[in-house]
A and B are shown apart, each in its own frame.
Chain A
Amino acid sequence: MSFDRIREKLNILADAAKYDVSCSSSGGTRKNDNKGLGDSHSSGICHTYTEDGRCVSLLKILLTNHCIYDCLFCVSRKSNDVKRAAFTVDEVVELTMNFYRRNYIEGLFLSSGIFKNADFTMERLLLVCKKLRLEQNYNGYIHLKTIPGASDELIKEAGLYADRMSINLEMPTEAGLKLLAPEKNHADVIKPLDFVQKNIAQFSADKKLIKHVPKFVPAGQSTQMVIGATPESDKDIMYTANAFYKNFSLKRVYYSGYVPISDDTRMPVLGTQPPLLRENRLYQTDWLMRFYGFKVQEILNDANPNLDIDIDPKLSWAIRNMQHFPVDINKADYKMILRIPGIGVMSAQKIVQARKFGKLRIDQLKKIGVAYNRAKHFITCVDSPYQLKDYQGTQIKAFILAESQSKYLKTDSNQLILF
């Protein structure tokens, strides 16, 4: 293989894969018990970060960017005039092994355009995984794309070698998807997600009865939605995410702000800034649902179909629900402490442990890591100053905005940053 050709292929096929934002390498349980290469790290490792600040933990590439589909939001769509390339199975194996040996990566993220048909594509992906696991004794992470429409047998076999599998919903609603990719529908995504989920459940049930059951997608499944290409509300997006978390036990839902790559009139025009702040607020909501005990309906509902841009969703919820505050740090239960703006999971756990030894004071809260300037509007502790006046939610919002320096609001999100 010539150096220049392999460099060119890597440039094309890494460039085409980068719009898939999943970067996680966590949840792997594979141990290096065959004196081979690689051992998973349960929380994952980000080996570097791109200049846009995204984590790089996996070698994220397409096997090929040839594709029979013409989805408007995708850079590899059939009608797009871009250079095409395809890796051989051995090239992917060699790149993965050599990058891994140098501690560049946690593993491989392999996706592909659909060439010929779904089964033909899935077979090639499976071949890469099998070579790595069986011939190279590779125990590093593998994130594999499930190709919608591939046969159950192929998907099931792939699950034996991959750590995580994913299929992208692409658009938050069926209507949005139909608008930009008439050939696709959500049902094609749901069927394999469901199939893999049922198998994961089956394997883990077997494991309780039988000692040696092979691993099946030990790091679970994830999906991705493109944000801002179609006119869905934040409520539409998060309700869909919530349903997928529930129905398919997904490990992660990713939200990818649309980066304009097409001049089609159905899409935002080229040069429009990707909606980074909105994306950030969606992730905050996702975290509130998964780690803070919030129900999606509390944050987004018919009265509030979109997230506030100027404040985060947790503060927003608190301001709308002042009847729950102030919370007594020394008495309230853990769940309520978690809901206080300015207190995160770690601080909340420390508070609950520390108060067994004596009532907590302001200076102790600060040392524990509470963002006190924010939290002070919502809490009382032993030495809280006596407050004569009951402030309204809107007043508190104004206080917080006045003294906080949002990293976003200084620059209008529609304004291009030159330097």
Chain B
Amino acid sequence: MIYIFDGSLTGLLTAVFEWFERKPGSTSLKSMMLYQPEAFRENLIVATDQEKADRVWVGLQKKLKKDWLRKFYCTYLSEIPEAYDHLFQFTIYIFQNETGAASNYGNDHVMALSKYAKSVEREKHRMEAFIRFQKTGDGMFYTSVDPDFNVLPLISNHFKNRYADQEWIIYDLKRKYGLHYNLKTVEEITIDFASEVNQKNPGLLLMDEKEELYSLLWKDYFKSANIVARKNTKLHVKHVPKRYWKYLTEKQLG
């Protein structure tokens, strides 16, 4: 049996509800976006239902401690096709066993969630570390990113608490939405970039007059802090993989 859901968290939780309604035996879960019909397996298209999803979520909250609810959510944000099936199987496993079953690291789904969540948390942490704001002429601190996983929901609070006295925008170019902090709350926004605007660097002309000075000072600092006699490029690249260099002011030429 194959269950097909719409890719939303509500859809995924609904699928669990439907499974317990029908108990169809061994079932795998696939996202609609990626589903290709198979000849010899039946399928069911899950109709996303908020009420059913809520019931599953309330049930999960009773069965799982906070850290595992977080792992569950992080795994969902990974957007990896196989992760959806692991979430589905994991949830069924949790409901069918005594409270505490999540610490069974010998179970494939427990281990899978633990690994996906670790990757997502690492990407979240990298965004907290590698984002570089540029100050615009009207006092806004702006940055754009394209993270491996959908981590904006996870970093929102960190930036809100930290930069409470400055207005900022973090925009996800890959998923086409961003976070805007207006000195009170963080709101989700979408921007229609005019085609001639360079999205990575929308207008040096719009920058605060001191922006260039501080980015220059930071690049200088980065060079001065290096000890040439200890050069270790392998270690450097291990800590800052090349795909993140585009974010880093200190890694830009000039």
Residues on A facing B (Cβ under 8 Å): 3, 6-7, 10-11, 14-15, 18-19, 31-32, 35-39, 41, 45-56, 59-60, 95, 98-99, 101-104, 137, 257, 259-260, 273-274, 276, 350-351, 353-358, 360-361, 364, 367-368, 407, 417
Q: With a CB–CB cut-off of 8 A, which chain B residues contact A6?
A: 217
Give Cα A56–Cα B130 distance, bound, in whole angstroms: 11
Beyond the given A18-B224, A39-B161, A104-B249, please list 13 additional residue pairs across the A-B interface where CB-CB is below 8 A.
Answer: A10-B220, A11-B224, A35-B164, A48-B248, A49-B239, A55-B239, A59-B221, A103-B131, A104-B218, A259-B227, A354-B106, A356-B103, A357-B104
Q: Give min CB distance, A59 to chain B, whole Å.
A: 7
Give Cα A274–Cα B128 distance, bound, in whole angstroms: 32
Q: Is the CB of A15 within 8 A of B135?
A: no
Give Cα A98–Cα B231 distance, bound, in whole angstroms: 29
Give Cα A38–Cα B125 distance, bound, in whole angstroms: 17
Q: Is the CB of A56 within 8 A of B104?
A: no
Q: A48-B240, A104-B249 are in contact. Are A99 and B111 (CB under 8 A)?
A: no
Interface string of B205-240 (1 = CB under 8 A from A): 000001001111110111111111111111110111
* Interface residue B62 (Cβ < 8 Å from any Cβ of A): no
Q: Give min CB distance, A283 to chain B, whole Å.
A: 13
Q: Give min CB distance, B76 to chain A, whole Å.
A: 21
Q: Give min CB distance, B156 to chain A, whole Å.
A: 13
For chain B, the bracket of interface size reads 35 or more
Give Cα A48–Cα B130 distance, bound, in whole angstroms: 7
Closest to B133 in A: A102
Q: Is the CB of A14 within 8 A of B224?
A: yes
Q: Give min CB distance, B219 to chain A, whole Å.
A: 10
Give Cα A257–Cα B133 distance, bound, in whole angstroms: 35
Q: A52-B236, A364-B106, A368-B111 are in contact. Are A101 and B225 (CB under 8 A)?
A: no
Q: Is the CB of B103 within 8 A of A48?
A: no
Interface string of B164-189 (1 = CB under 8 A from A): 11100000000000000000000000
* Interface residue B141 (Cβ < 8 Å from any Cβ of A): yes
Q: A10-B221, A104-B218 are in contact. Are A52 and B232 (CB under 8 A)?
A: yes
* Interface residue B194 (Cβ < 8 Å from any Cβ of A): no
Closest to A52 in B: B230
Q: A52-B226, A53-B232, A273-B229 are in contact. Are A98 and B240 (CB under 8 A)?
A: no
Please pick, from A3, A18, A417, the residue contacting B231 in the complex, using a CB distance under 8 A.
A417
Give Cα A343–Cα B166 distance, bound, in whole angstroms: 45
Please pick, from B143, B165, B238, the residue contacting A37 in the complex, using a CB distance under 8 A.
B165
Q: Is the CB of B162 within 8 A of A32?
A: yes
Q: Give min CB distance, B159 to chain A, whole Å.
A: 8
Q: Is the CB of B221 within 8 A of A353?
A: no
Q: Is the CB of B236 within 8 A of A45?
A: no
Q: With a CB–CB cut-off of 8 A, which chain B residues contact A60?
A: 225
Q: Is the CB of B163 within 8 A of A101?
A: yes
* Interface residue B52 (Cβ < 8 Å from any Cβ of A): no
Closest to A15 in B: B224
Give Cα A158–Cα B43 distance, bound, in whole angstroms: 68
Q: Is the CB of A102 within 8 A of B218?
A: yes
Q: Give min CB distance, B137 to chain A, whole Å.
A: 15
- Mind listing 15 A-B residue pairs with CB under 8 Å? A32-B164, A39-B162, A48-B248, A50-B222, A50-B226, A53-B230, A53-B238, A53-B239, A59-B221, A102-B132, A104-B132, A260-B229, A350-B105, A351-B105, A357-B101
Q: Is the CB of B166 within 8 A of A7?
A: no
* Interface residue B107 (Cβ < 8 Å from any Cβ of A): yes
Q: Is the CB of B220 within 8 A of A48?
A: no
Q: Is the CB of B220 within 8 A of A51?
A: no
Q: Is the CB of A103 within 8 A of B107?
A: no
Q: Give min CB distance, A49 to chain B, whole Å.
A: 4
Closest to B233 in A: A51
Q: A32-B161, A137-B165 are in contact. Are A101 and B135 (CB under 8 A)?
A: yes
Q: Give min CB distance, B210 to chain A, whole Å.
A: 8
> Lowest 9 CB-CB distances: which A-B pairs, in order?
A53-B235, A354-B105, A14-B224, A52-B230, A353-B103, A357-B104, A49-B239, A53-B232, A50-B226
Q: With a CB–CB cut-off of 8 A, which chain A residues contact B132?
A: 102-104
Q: With a CB–CB cut-off of 8 A, which chain A residues contact B220?
A: 7, 10-11, 14
